[in-house]
Amino acid sequence: MRVIVHGATGRMGARLRELASLDPAIALVAASSRTVAESSLRPGPTPQNAHEIRVLADVVIDFSSDIGVMSAIDLASRNGAALLVGTTGLSPATLEALRAESKRRAVLVAPNTSLGVAVLAKIAADTARALGPAFDISIVEAHHNRKKDAPSGTALRLAASIRDAGATLHDDQILAMRGGDVIGEHTIRFSGPGEYIELSHRAVSRDLFVLGALRAAKWLRGAASGWWTVEDALDLRAK
């Protein structure tokens, strides 16, 4: 699979390049970043400005910014590639642009590329259906003090899964904490008469997001044009 990493000099992009270079099924054919100067010790091609890249690619993987995603869309379009966006905190305008692009190519938007979070979303939806309206639902999430969006994209994704299952989850019951160097923690609580259930996911290494992105990208390579999610890539959609 021929991959372009967009946002290649960021924390996630740099790690993505390193782990992709260890996978014999992946060829890292290009890397792009607004900041192209970096150490040559990183594996793979030297980062370029996105508009300079002309290569044959299967998938563009983006971990950049809301503004950077627009550049990733153009990069995928010019190089005939599917697009996987792992960037969080996307604006309505950017999401609209991604929706439009999904009519021309496979687009997968993943606020969290963790396998565990994808499974948690499914379990949360199943739990909400089973417990019914007698249980109140809340989500508490924690991240490092440099994270800009709150609530996190992952919390909103979990909330959407619960609401899609027919349950009520009020916006003021999605709580965000920011502090220290926490990679990511999410806990869903179902509180009922005389009892409560908690479902939690804790990230202990950012590598889990990179490995999940690479796994999803392999699936996306053969996908038809359309709007896809990590649940689709892992075949976790409700049957």
Look at residue 19 and tell me if it is in a domain.
yes
Q: Are 174 and 145 found together in one domain?
A: yes
> Which residues does the annotation mark as catalytic?
143, 147
At 43, the pLDDT band (50, 70, 90 cuts) reads low
27 within 8 A of 55, measured Cβ to Cβ? no
pLDDT average, residue stretch 2-23: 92
pLDDT average, residue stretch 67-85: 95
Q: pLDDT at residue 40 above 50?
A: no
196 within 8 A of 76, measured Cβ to Cβ? no
Amino acid type, 216: A
At 238, the pLDDT band (50, 70, 90 cuts) reads low
Q: Are 14 and 76 found together in one domain?
A: yes
pTM, to two decimals: 0.82
**Cis ω for the linkage preceding 45 (within 30 of 0):** no
Domain extent at residue 162: 115-203
Q: pLDDT (tens digit, 9 = 90+) per residue, 142-187?
A: 999 999 889 998 999 999 999 999 999 999 999 999 999 999 999 9
Q: pLDDT (tens digit, 9 = 90+) per residue, 108-141?
A: 999 889 999 999 999 999 999 999 999 999 999 9
Q: Are 105 and 6 found together in one domain?
A: yes
Element (DSSP H or E) covering residue 198: strand 195-203
Q: Are 49 and 91 found together in one domain?
A: yes
Look at residue 238 and tell me if it is in a domain.
no
Structure tokens, 186: 């999410």
CATH of the domain at 123: 3.30.360.10
Q: How many residues does the chain have?
A: 239
At 41, the pLDDT band (50, 70, 90 cuts) reads very low
Picking from 4, 18, 90, the residue whose alpha carbon sits closest to that of residue 51 is 4
Surface-to-core class of residue 178, CB atoms within 10 Å of its CB (0-12 exposed, 13-18 middle, 19+ buried): middle
31 within 8 A of 48, measured Cβ to Cβ? yes
